[in-house]
Amino acid sequence: MTFFSHLECSVPCGAPRLDPRAVHHLCSCGAPLVARYDLERARAWRRETLAGREPNMWRYREMLPLFDGESPITLGEGFTPLFHAKALGATLGLDRLFIKDESLNPTNSFKARGQAAAITRAKYLGAKTIALPTAGNAGNAAAAYSAAAGLECEVFIPKDAKQPFVDECRLYGANVTLVDGLITDAGRMAAEKGGPLGWYDVSTLKEPYRIEGKKTMAYELAEQMDWEWPDWIVYPTGGGTGMVGMWKAFDEIERLGWVKPGRRPKMVTVQAEHCAPIVRAFDEGAERAQPWENAATIADGLRVPRAIGDFLILRAIRESGGTAVAASDREMVEGMLAIGKQAGVSAAPEGGAALVAIQKLAAAGSIKPRDRVVLFNTGGALKYLDVLHS
Ligand SMILES: *Cc1c(COP(=O)(O)O)cnc(C)c1O
């Protein structure tokens, strides 16, 4: 039984609710749309019913955008392990450092969750061709789920993206367009080309369902930590669906009555030193972020100069009492190596960046030795191994 009921503006701007049985991308005001559930009815759903369900993100299907009688397009995404990284924590003076290892998802990153949800809906809404701009991982995930769904996929990727990302899109049969510019330029091109052709755009936050897939990270964390939130969640942030999705899930999980309300984790956004629009806006106390000029970093997932959901990310950081931290490329590589050596986990530069942020916050005394800290390793190292030689 699903509790999925409608779509509404994320601001909210006052526009009427929308029927999710039709295609919707952005709100008429230009802001992202979000999926809403009948939380009154959902309160009768007991967390005990999760025991024995399959270990993937669809174990929370009542709170996902799936109507009764539908089956998800799935490659087994989600329910990734949460490790207690004792040796790595000890190097930072932390007793309770955990790694949520998203590298174990299909196509090696947490992007699988978002695309599984978005492409499942696209398929039921009658889409024929999926299109998106990507820095790499989102394109790989979209290509894989499009293939699983029997849909065409058009990927627009900056021409200086690492070769493994381009090759992997082609592996799943996607059509790849190399773009002279950044992900924002690729997005413009995808929209211009795909609009007239009726392509279904799954750009970050330009459709409402990728957030729904990403929010399952918070449902899993709650379940894996025995329904008690950690003190800190440290998350490498580009377009922000991970942060925004988890923040949305905290609210839902509280309202389901599955955790005690009020004491949520502090959310830490981590960005790259030379592409840190959210960090800058947070430091300036701004509600929206200014686009970052000349964005550059080895962490492809963080090379996002402008995020359409910037105000939602900033809201989540501030309401949680969290913060925003930048890491240099060199620090990220050191972080990757430390995670590899001390924990045996394959970390993308983005995961390395999260460790750098934890180091900085522990050294500053913000994170205390007994705090429960969750490092999100959003992707694996394999597609980025060249950074170890640069
Ligand atoms: C996309 C990506 C990110 C950033 O995620 P957002 O949800 O866009 O903020 C972080 N890490 C990796 C490995 C990514 O692929």
133, two tokens: 């701009």
Which residues lie closer than 8 Å to 226 by C-beta, 6 or more apart?
A: none
162, two tokens: 């690492």
136, two tokens: 């790499």
| Ligand 1: residue whose CA is nearest its atom 8 | 239
Atom of ligand 1 nearest to the CA of 242: 7
pLDDT single digits (tens) 150-181 = 999 999 999 999 999 999 999 999 999 999 99
Cα torsion at 248, 254, 255, 260 (round to 10°)? Answer: -170
Instruction: Cis check for the bond before 12: say yes or no (omega within 30 of 0).
Output: yes
H helices of the chain, in order, are: 39-42, 86-91, 111-124, 137-149, 163-171, 183-197, 210-224, 241-255, 277-284, 310-320, 329-343, 349-363
d(CA 26, CA 334): 39
The stretches in the chain having pLDDT less than 50 are: none
pLDDT for 1 equals 85
Atom of ligand 1 nearest to the CA of 240: 9
- Pocket lined around ligand 1, Cβ cut-off 6 Å: 109, 111, 137-138, 204, 236-242, 301, 348, 350, 378-379
200-218: b or e for each residue (b if 16 or more CB lie within 10 Å)? bbbbbbbbbbbbbbbbbbb
Atom of ligand 1 nearest to the CA of 204: 8
pLDDT for 89 equals 98
pLDDT for 267 equals 98
Ligand 1 centroid–CA 300 distance in Å is 8
pLDDT for 390 equals 74
**Is residue 200 classed as helix, strand or coil in its secondary structure?**
strand
| Ligand 1: residue whose CA is nearest its atom 4 | 238
Which residues lie closer than 8 Å to 94 by C-beta, 6 or more apart?
A: 358, 362, 367, 369, 371, 373
DSSP annotation of 373 reads E
**Is residue 236 classed as helix, strand or coil in its secondary structure?**
strand
d(CA 125, CA 205): 18
Look at strands 33-37 and 4-9 and give their pairing: antiparallel
pLDDT for 343 equals 98
Q: How far is CA 150 from CA 122, 130, 146, 376, in A?
A: 11, 11, 6, 31
290, two tokens: 């200014």
The pTM assigned to this predicted structure is: 0.97
d(CA 132, CA 125): 17
C-beta neighbour count of 341 within 10 angstroms:
12
d(CA 150, CA 135): 23
- Using most ligand atoms within 8 A of CB, pick from 247, 302, 384 the residue to mutate for ligand 1: 302
Atom of ligand 1 nearest to the CA of 136: 15
Q: What distance lies between CA 250 and its chain's CA centroid? A: 15
d(CA 258, CA 48): 10
Ligand 1 centroid–CA 239 distance in Å is 7
pLDDT for 79 equals 98
- Select from 306, 84, 352, 115 the least CA-distant residue to 212: 115
d(CA 79, CA 53): 11
**DSSP codes joined into one string, 97-160:** EEEEEGGGSGGGBTHHHHHHHHHHHHHHTT-SEEEEE-SSHHHHHHHHHHHHHT-EEEEEEETT
377 within 8 A of 101, measured Cβ to Cβ = yes
pLDDT for 257 equals 96
141, two tokens: 């995930």
Ligand 1 centroid–CA 197 distance in Å is 28
**DSSP codes joined into one string, 16-45:** PPB-TTS---B-TTSSBEEEEE-HHHHTT-
DSSP annotation of 264 reads P
